Amino acid sequence: MTMAETENITRQLERLFEKWSGRPPRSVIPLPASGSYRQYYRIRGEEGSVMGMYNGDLKENDSFVAIGEQLRQAGCNVPLILASEPEKGLYLETDLGDMTLLDYLKTVREEENGLLKTLDIYKRVIDCMPALQVEGGRGADYSRCHPRAEFDAQSMMWDMNYFKYCLLKPLKIRFHEQDLETDFRLILEHLLEAPRDHFMYRDFQSRNIMLHEGKLFFIDFQGGRKGPLQYDLASLLYEAKTHLGEDIREQLLGYYLEVFEKRYPWFSRKQFLSRYYGFVYLRLMQAMGAYGFRGFTEHKPLFLESLPYAAGILNALLVSHPLPLPLTCLPDSAAQLSALYPERHRQAQGDRLTVTVCSFSYRSGIPVDGSGHGGGFVFDCRALTNPGRLDEFAALTGKDKAVADFLGDRDDMKSFMKYSFKLVEQAVGVYQLRRFSSLMVCFGCTGGRHRSVYVADRLAEFLAENYDVDVVVRHTEIDKNPPGA
């Protein structure tokens, strides 16, 4: 999306917000791009904030609205649409904050009782799944689902071909085309025997589950359709980014079975398990195809970070939970994938990248990289509007809300952050794949207290929210001369 297009969407969201609230917004801040093509904005007004969303795919938007209403009627916590201009692809919805399930897992991982907290939060999610999958599907108008009304044979083949064309071929994995196609057909026939008469969320993963005011909320369900129960549990428990151990997955699988057996007399543990691991394979192939497409085709290295973990999971599954099928090609392809990423690439802890983000004054000079590696980035903020020249901001810093609000509304600042962050993103993704341990990013301005401080803090927040890295922030001028000192 071009800068002009982004500015046009911002203006339209400002008008929609003013029409809804009766007052113009104080700020409209674009949020970091995710795996979808939807654009999200946090819009702040006098009485709080809401989320603005733009998506040019109007059919997908219609699916989002229809599914959201269906899930809400079933008692599920989903975002409430506050205002919309559907013909333009614009919506306002409730702001559920920034704490995703993935973020929560990162915060508790190192705590003494981190394992218990992990199990507890996943059990809370599973407790919500009957309403999502069963009640949420009763009376649903699946004709409004996009791009398919049902997770059928066509949908499953799309997922497996995604894996083949967007991952195996770009990585030059050796396989016999017909043999792999035969394996896909065997898996397809196996999975089509499972009942597919409930609501399937599709992307039931940690980034689409929010923790807000002590409750769980569910977002980005516009890809949902009629389908099997097993797929969503596979999506939840075998997500590469969460680094769940197989023992935890087995415990949570058992908990899911208990919840559904107690609630629904028709639920069959034996029937569910007979096809469960087949859907785990399918979901892993779909996810790995997505990593390949986003990483290799769209040049978004963030998505390649999970590839080593997913490859290891798939290879291990072929040993621990082989399908009752005469597969001849997929096991070798998985082994080749796993061999590309030795075990040291799959360590959830240790060998982590540390990104040091600094603000500085050009009067004092560019900070020295103490890691011994050198390199990194130095961005010059002196071409940006300087709030330090205004009397009301002179004694403040980029950490103060008044200065942050002023800079956050500036078009030159938005453009500067967009392009500088994109360069840093590219480096972070590659550095992680190559197991580098250190990257330094510096922002300089005249005094080192306003523009550079603001941008450094925004980059640190962006990296912490979107990458599994350690972030260290240094404000060299403020550290030497704190405000009021």
Residue 437 has pLDDT above 80, yes or no: no
Closest CA to 90 of 46, 41, 145, 48: 41
Residue 449 has pLDDT above 70, yes or no: yes
In this prediction, residue 434 has a pLDDT band, given cuts at 50, 70 and 90, of low
Burial of residue 326 (number of CB atoms within 10 Å: 0-12, 13-18, 19+): exposed
pLDDT of residue 257: 98
What's the mean per-residue pLDDT of the chain? 91
pLDDT of residue 101: 97
Strands 377-380 and 354-361: unpaired
DSSP H helices, 302-367, are: 307-320, 330-340
- 68 HSE (CA, 13 A, CB side): 18
pLDDT of residue 34: 65
Percent pLDDT > 90 in the chain is 75
pLDDT of residue 345: 44
User: In whole angstroms, what is the distance from residue 221 CA to residue 83 CA?
Assistant: 19
Strand boundaries in 12-104, DSSP class E? 27-30, 39-45, 48-54, 81-85, 90-94
Closest CA to 340 of 292, 290, 279, 282: 292
Contact criterion met (CB below 8 Å) for 427 and 465: no
pTM here is 0.72
> How do residues 83-125 score in pLDDT, each as one tens digit?
999 999 999 999 999 999 999 998 887 787 888 999 999 999 9
In this prediction, residue 374 has a pLDDT band, given cuts at 50, 70 and 90, of low
In this prediction, residue 371 has a pLDDT band, given cuts at 50, 70 and 90, of low
pLDDT of residue 338: 84
Question: Which range, 179-193, 241-255, 287-301, 309-323, is most confident?
Answer: 179-193
b/e for 116-154, b at 16 or more Cβ within 10 A?
ebbeebbeebbebbbbbbbbbbeebebebbbebbebeee
> Averaged over 244-255, what is the pLDDT?
93
In this prediction, residue 1 has a pLDDT band, given cuts at 50, 70 and 90, of low
> How do residues 5-42 score in pLDDT, each as one tens digit?
888 999 999 999 999 999 999 999 988 766 667 899 99
Peptide linkage before 147 cis (omega within 30 of 0)? yes
> Averaged over 240-267, what is the pLDDT?
94
Residue 350 has pLDDT above 50, yes or no: no
User: In whole angstroms, what is the distance from residue 352 CA to residue 471 CA?
Assistant: 11
Per-residue DSSP letters for 261-279? Answer: HHH-TT--HHHHHHHHHHH
274 residue type, one letter: S
In this prediction, residue 300 has a pLDDT band, given cuts at 50, 70 and 90, of confident
